[in-house]
Amino acid sequence: MPAALAPESALETQVLSTFDVVAGLLGGIGLFLIGMHMLTEGLKLAAGRALEGLLERGTATRPRGLAAGVLMTGLVQSSTAVTVASIGFVNTGLLSLQNALWVVFGSNLGTTMNAWLVAALGFGFRIDAFALPFVGVGATLMLAGRTLRARALGQALAGFGLLFLGIDALKDTFAGFGSAIDFHDFLAPGIAGWLTLVAIGTLMTVLMQASGAVIAIVITAAQGGLISVEAACAIVIGTNIGTTSTAILSAIGATSSARRLAAAHVIFNLVTGAVALAILPLLIGLLDLLRNWLETPATPAVMVAMFHTVFNLLGVLLMVPLATPMLKVLSGRFRGREEALAHPRHLDDNSLAIPDLALHALRMELGRTQGFATTALDASARRPQDEATIERETSALETLAPAIADYTRRLSGASLPPTLVEALARCLRALQYQENAAAALREARTLGAALGRAESPELASAASAFVEATAALARAADASREDFNTGAVELRLQEAEARYQALKEALLLSGAHARLDIRSMQDWLRLASLQRRAAEQVAKAARMIAVLEGVAPAQAARLDGDHGDAIANHGG
């Protein structure tokens, strides 16, 4: 009877051992993820808007952007959070693509701090004695803190402690069965085996959405003897590739620049991973020499952490010469509707060899930008203003303007007859008037959104008459209209000026009789003045285009110094 029960007892022991392993693995990962989440969210709450300020003001140069990315990632312990935040800032226009690029590169370097925390603090002493006080103090602050910042700091401290308790659980789990399993038994030899390990790291990161947790698992597995240092390093390469999944998801539906930043993040990680995998044995050898030179303890955990840092640093160094051409290539991809509008349609470099043909191309392109300006002016004259149209049209104009100016500059470098030189000067003046109108309309859009509608009937009537006259001017100044002529533009401009004066008088009377507070009166005057300036600049551009197209005598262009400038100089 005892003999018959022996196999069952052995089976029961194996089941319990497997349960212990699975429970320890899941519990360790869970504690690590909860701790990482609490640490990240707590630090973001405690820091407040300082995180946004660092991204907005601290990325003017490549080194500053790189340092900001490293510092931000070290602070919140999440390269994904910094990358997604950078994409969000680019999406809203608070951060340029070029500056955000180096923030993202820095975030990849900053995420290596997590590996060093695990390697340096996770082994060699009693982790629970180190982590439990953080959990206790943090929980006390979370529950008893009087301010939001104090409670957030408590959350971060408690998360820091839980993170290391998770590492402790993983370490004990891997130490219990690591010596009994040879991980390489399940892998193909050679490059196929390395690629399998990279794929494992990528898949784990995509599923867990936390490269730090995967790296903690890898380091503890290597330290427990479950996998070799080389295998752990290959999986770490995969974790870097896996972090791109969140960036790709966050770029769906975003602006063109935001999608380009996500693509740059993917390229960085793929290129870095490919190079690191190709020279993996060499890197391991160099790290061993570096470890001996620094007299660092020969632990697998430290070796993996060193590799993680070195190969991300290698990636940053690779990007120094590659970043500019990569941006150039990406600038031709992911074009949105706004950029499609802003792409030159008529400015062909081959036309530069024939000045008359090049001048015709300039006239055609200026007709397009005039359409952007008049459409934006018409959108500004609506109540409420069509803010989306104003933004789209003025952005297209401002993006296209440098290309027109550069084309004009290159054409002017040729030997031209005096008539063409004068025509080029008119092209540049027309473009300048359009840009001035766009700048005024952008400012009017912001101010108009804050003011809303006029409350008193008198003001509402005067404002309505002014914007109707402005809209009529916008339609008359559209150079694509078949009946486009400077006479109609001048007539509509005079009507808009008369309506402006009537609105100005109504505003001053409302302020004098206390029907409108002084601050509001000044804001309304400023709004009307901006719209009036935009109308005047659009009209001046229309005169220039009319002369260029031969539908008005050259003398019309000299009216700029008379009626138009007089209006601009009167102020609000």
Residue 317 has pLDDT above 80, yes or no: yes
Nearest to 376 by CA among 363, 365, 364, 388: 388
Residue with tokens 């929980």: 139
Q: What are phi and psi of 123, to 5 degrees?
A: -140, 155
Q: Which of 93-97, 181-185, 244-248 has the highest mean pLDDT?
A: 244-248
Name the residue with higher pLDDT: 512 or 4.
Answer: 512
The pLDDT of 349-354, averaged and rounded, is: 72
Give the Cα separation of 436 and 444 in Å (integer): 12
Structure token digits, residue 559: 């009216």
Give the Cα separation of 258 and 313 in Å (integer): 24
Interior angle at CA 113, CA 109 and CA 116, nearest 5: 130
Residue 409 has pLDDT above 80, yes or no: yes
Exposure on the CB side of residue 539, measured as CA atoms within 13 A: 34
- Amino acid 522: pLDDT: 86
CB distance 350 to 100 below 8 Å: no
Interior angle at CA 534, CA 530 and CA 538, nearest 5: 170
Q: What's 49's DSSP letter?
A: T
Residue 533 confidence class, pLDDT cut points 50, 70, 90: very high
Give the Cα separation of 261 and 458 in Å (integer): 50
Name the residue with higher pLDDT: 532 or 42.
Answer: 532
Name the residue with higher pLDDT: 398 or 224.
Answer: 398
Which amino acid is present at 238?
G
Q: What is the DSSP string of 285-347?
A: HHHHHHHHHHT----HHHHHHHHHHHHHHHHHHHHHHHHHHHHHHHHTSS--HHHHHHS-SS-
Residue 89: its H or E element? helix 79-92
pTM of the model: 0.51
Give the Cα separation of 561 and 102 in Å (integer): 47
Query: What are 49-65's pLDDT values in tens digits?
Result: 555 555 556 776 788 88
**Picking from 130-144, 306-320, 333-347, 472-486, which range would have the lowest pLDDT averaged per residue?**
333-347
Name the residue with higher pLDDT: 368 or 243.
Answer: 368
Does residue 417 have a cis bond before it (omega within 30 degrees)?
Answer: no
The pLDDT of 253-279, averaged and rounded, is: 83
Question: Across the chain, what does the average pLDDT equal?
Answer: 76
- Amino acid 494: pLDDT: 93
Query: What are 12-32's pLDDT values in tens digits?
Result: 334 336 777 778 778 877 887
Q: What is the DSSP string of 97-166?
A: HHHHHHHHHHHHHHTHHHHHHHHHHSSSS-HHHHHHHHHHHHHHHHHH-SSHHHHHHHHHHHHHHHHHHH
The pLDDT of 368-379, averaged and rounded, is: 91
- Amino acid 180: pLDDT: 47
The pLDDT of 500-527, averaged and rounded, is: 84
Q: Which of 124-128, 225-229, 555-559 has the highest mean pLDDT?
A: 225-229
Residue 289 confidence class, pLDDT cut points 50, 70, 90: confident
Domains of the chain: residue spans and CATH: 17-334 (no CATH), 341-570 (1.20.58.220)
Residue 271 has pLDDT above 70, yes or no: yes
Which amino acid is present at 558?
R
CB distance 306 to 284 below 8 Å: no
- Amino acid 299: pLDDT: 75
Residue 552 has pLDDT above 60, yes or no: no
Interior angle at CA 489, CA 484 and CA 494, nearest 5: 165
Residue 85 confidence class, pLDDT cut points 50, 70, 90: low
In whole angstroms, how far apart are CA 52 and each of 148, 214, 247, 257?
18, 28, 18, 19
Give the Cα separation of 566 and 569 in Å (integer): 5
Residue 251 has pLDDT above 90, yes or no: no
Residue 196: its H or E element? helix 191-208
Structure token digits, residue 199: 């794929």
Nearest to 283 by CA among 259, 310, 317: 310
- Amino acid 4: pLDDT: 41
Nearest to 111 by CA among 280, 203, 199, 242: 242
Which amino acid is present at 520?
S
Give the Cα separation of 464 and 441 in Å (integer): 17
CB distance 516 to 459 below 8 Å: yes
Grouping H, G, I as helix, E, B as strand and the rest as coil, residue 396 is helix
CB atoms < 10 A from the CB of 406, how many? Answer: 12
Name the residue with higher pLDDT: 169 or 391.
Answer: 391
Query: What are 434-470's pLDDT values in tens digits?
Result: 999 999 998 888 887 766 665 667 777 888 899 899 9
